[in-house]
Amino acid sequence: MARMVWSVGVGGLALALLAAAWLSRPVELPQAGPPLAGSEEPGARAPSPAPAAPEAVPAATSKPLAPPAVVSPRPPTASAPVVPGTAPRPWPEAPRARRTLPEQYLRIVRALRADHATPLARRDAVLAEFHASGESQEPWTQGARSALDAWRTTIEADVLPVQSEPPRCYAAGCVARVTFPDAASYEEARQRVPALKLGDVGPHMQLPPEHLPSGQVVVSWAVLPPKRT
């Protein structure tokens, strides 16, 4: 029995040594065959085709260029000779610009725009210019008198009756003295002055008022002559 076991052990050992020797042999790989016809190496690239030669472009038939157009300069406009020491002739004025104002009218305007100590001083300066121009009975004064009457009638119809003296006409305009019963009625009438329509006459104005101790207010209305052309 012991011999059988020993022999089996020796046989197994021998088989193990043979297997180890066989496994330790180097493995021989089969030799690679010739490359196939359609295969290419990985790193190889196909040669780029040669650039095509440019096609010959037929030369365009050259045409003679048209000569550039010559623009003749405009002849200089004739201007009137300027005599040394004289100003050039101004443009003709419009008909409205050729209107001249009467000298008396200009004096009234200067008196209104001048500097005065009080409103009553301004009123007295304007009235003095009316008186200094002298009394007048020219045809335009009839329209100015009618305008002053229409002024008074409008105030009496819209506000209340007022006391009015007959107008006096001068070369610088017609003036009427009007008395209001109180300051409230005068103020209401004063606000209506700019909107008055007095017909075909010159400018109209209301001079600064005078407040009396009785409470009445005295004021002068004036209608200037129409502007002459």
Residue range 66-79, pLDDT digits in tens: 554 444 445 555 44
Threshold 0.95, pTM exceeds:
no
Instruction: Reduce the secondary structure of 18-62 to three states and give it as a string.
Output: HHHHHHCCCCCCCCCCCCCCCCCCCCCCCCCCCCCCCCCCCCCCC
Residue 48, pLDDT score: 52
Mean pLDDT over 56-61 rounds to 48
Tokens of 111: 């008196």
Q: Which of 184, 194, 195 is nearest to 159 (CA)?
A: 184
Mean pLDDT over 91-105 rounds to 53
Residue 91, pLDDT score: 38
Pick from 62-71, 100-109, 135-144, 167-176: least confident = 62-71
Q: How confident is the model at residue 176 (pLDDT cuts 50, 70, 90)?
A: very high
Mean pLDDT over 27-42 rounds to 47
Residue 29, pLDDT score: 47
Report whether pLDDT(172) > 90.
yes
Q: Is 96 helix (H, G, I), strand (E, B) or coil?
A: coil
Residue 15, pLDDT score: 55
Mean pLDDT over 14-30 rounds to 51
Residue 30, pLDDT score: 46
Residue 200, pLDDT score: 87
Domains belonging to the chain, first-starting first, are: 103-223 (3.30.980)
* CA 168 from centre of chain: 51
- How would you label 105-121 residue by residue, b for 16+ Cβ within 10 Å and e otherwise? bebbeebbeeebeeeee
Residue 45, pLDDT score: 52
